[in-house]
Amino acid sequence: MRLSKFFLPVSKEAPSDAAIVSHQLMLRTGMVRQNGAGIYTWLPLGYRVLKRIEQIVREEMNRAGAVELLMPTLQQADLWRESGRYDDYGKEMLRIKDRHDRDMLYGPTNEELITDVFRTYVKSYKQLPLNLYHQQWKFRDEVRPRFGVMRGREFLMKDAYSFDLTEDGARAAYRKMFCAYLNAFNRMGLTAVPMRADTGPIGGDLSHEFIILAETGESAVFCDKALLDLPPPGLDLDFDADLTSEVEKRTQFYAATEEMHDEAVFDALPDDRKVSARGIEVGHIFYFGTKYSKPMNAVVQGPDGQMVPVQMGSYGIGVSRLVGALIEACHDESGIVWPEAVAPFDVGLINMRVGDEACDAACKELYAAMSAAGQEVLYDDTDDRAGAKFARMDLIGLPRQITVGPRGLADGKVEVKDRKTGDKQEVSIAHMLAQLKAS
C-alpha cells in the first residue's frame, strides 16, 4: 500500500478529551473517529488491526471445534420476554420500535437468539456437543462510555454458545473455551490471566474473566504471581482430550476480580507472590446450565428417550476492546509498538528521496519482493520531511522499518530498524532480495 494512496489521518496533537494512552494513540494515528458517545468509525489503519484480531479469534475458535455463523444485530423483543430478560436487562438495552409498532432491540448479547436457532434444528443428543459462535456488533447503552473503544456503546464481540446433554459435558465445553482463550490472547502477544468473576446479567454460577494487567484497567484484580508465569496450553493441544488438568493447573492459583475477592485467602499468600493490580477484561466465559433452555423450551431427546433441557454456556471476547488493550500493553514514548501478529502492516518502507531515480527503483523492487513473499507493506512515498516520516512510522508502530536513502544506496544498502528494540542494521539489498525470494 502506497501511503500517498492510503487514508491515514495522523495528527501531532494529543486530543484533550482522551484520558488514557491507547485512546490518545488511536485518535492520533487515525485508527478511529468518534461519531457519538461510545460510537466509532473504524478508519483503515484501525480496521486492519480489528480484522487481524478477529482472524486470530476465528482460528482459535475453529481449532477448539466451534462453528461460525452470523446472527443479526437487531432482535425481536419477544424472544427476550420468553427468557425473562426483557425487563431484567435494564437501561443498557437499546429498545427500538419498528413501523408496525413491534418491540425490537439492538442486541447487547445473543443467548436468546442462539437458543431459538438451536431449538428449531436440534432435537437429539446425537447432534451434541455443539458450539456455535459469531463475531458481531453489539450495543450496550453504557452509563459512562469511556476510554475510547475500551468501553464503547457499539462494540465488536466474539460470542460463542455451547450446547451439551449433561452438566459434565457442559463443563468440558467450558474447559475447551478456557484453553482456546489463553492460546488466542497469547498469539496476539498478550498475557491474559483467567480470574474467577461475577456472572452479572448473563447468569450462572461458574465464570472466569480473562484479564490483561494494565495500570489504566477499569477493574481492581488480585492474583498469585505464579499464575502469570505459566505458559499457555499451546496450539498443539488436543481439544478432544480431557482438559481438566490444563485448567486446574491454572485455577489452583488464587486469581479474582474485585467482586469475587477473598481478602483472607489472598493475605495468606507469601508476600512476593501477591499481585494486586488493575486489569482490562478482554474475555468472559460463563456456564449457566439451563437458565435459557428451560424457559425457552430448548430440549433434546437423551439416550433414554426422555426430553431434557440442553445445558449451555456462553463465551465472550471483546474484539474491539482488544485493540485498545493491546495498545495499553504495547507502546512507548514514540507511539504504538504492535506485536507482529496484529500489526496493521508488517513493514514500513520509507523512501527518503522520492523522485530520485535510484531510490524510487530500489523501493519499487523491495516493495514487489516483500509483497510477493506475503508481507504487507506500507510504502511511504510522500515528499514529507525525513523527520516527519520517521516520527509517523514510529507513531503507527509497524514492527519493521526499512529506510531507503541515497547514501546507503551508493553501497547497495538500506537501513532496517526493529520498532520494538530500536536496533538498526545496514543490510545489503541484494542479500535482502535473495532472502525474500527464498522465503
* Residue located via cell numbers 467450558: 174
- Looking at the Cβ atoms of 192 and 343, the one nearer to ligand P5A is 192
- Residue pair 328/216 in contact (Cβ under 8 Å)? The answer is yes
Among 116, 224, 246, 281, interactor with ligand P5A by CB under 6 A: 281
H or E segment to which residue 233 belongs? none
Alpha carbon 150 to chain centroid, angstroms: 11
Q: Which of residues 144-173 bind ligand P5A (CB under 6 A)?
A: 151-152, 155, 157, 159
Residues 317-356: x where in contact with ligand P5A by CB under 6 A, - otherwise, as a string:
-x-xx-----------------------------------
Query: Smallest distance, Å, CB 152 to ligand P5A?
Result: 4
Among 64, 282, 370, 404, interactor with ligand P5A by CB under 6 A: 282
Query: Smallest distance, Å, CB 321 to ligand P5A?
Result: 4
Alpha carbon 273 to chain centroid, angstroms: 28
Query: Segment contacting ligand P5A (CB under 6 A): 166-174, 297-305, 308-316, 431-439?
Result: 308-316
Residue 422 backbone zone (phi > 0: left; psi -120 to 50: alpha; other: beta): left
Closest CA to 63 of 233, 231, 192, 200: 233
Alpha carbon 112 to chain centroid, angstroms: 24
By CB under 6 A, tell whether 279 contacts ligand P5A. Answer: no
- Looking at the Cβ atoms of 157 and 352, the one nearer to ligand P5A is 157
- Looking at the Cβ atoms of 137 and 239, the one nearer to ligand P5A is 137
Cβ count within 10 A of residue 86: 17
Handedness of CA 11, 17, 21, 26 (dihedral sign): negative
Handedness of CA 26, 28, 32, 33 (dihedral sign): positive
Closest CA to 176 of 160, 191, 193: 160
Among 284, 291, 400, 417, interactor with ligand P5A by CB under 6 A: 284
By CB under 6 A, tell whether 109 contacts ligand P5A. Answer: yes
By CB under 6 A, tell whether 202 contacts ligand P5A. Answer: yes
Write out the three cell numbers for 274: 501477591
- Residue pair 383/393 in contact (Cβ under 8 Å)? The answer is no
Query: Segment contacting ligand P5A (CB under 6 A): 165-173, 220-228, 254-262, 313-321?
Result: 313-321
- Looking at the Cβ atoms of 158 and 389, the one nearer to ligand P5A is 158
- Looking at the Cβ atoms of 318 and 399, the one nearer to ligand P5A is 318
Pairwise CA distance, residues 34 & 39, whole Å: 6
- Looking at the Cβ atoms of 279 and 405, the one nearer to ligand P5A is 279
Query: Smallest distance, Å, CB 370 to ligand P5A?
Result: 34
**Residue 334, CB-side half-sphere exposure with 13 Å CA sphere:** 18
Binding region for ligand P5A (CB under 6 A): 109, 140, 142, 151-152, 155, 157, 159, 202, 281-284, 286, 314-316, 318, 320-321
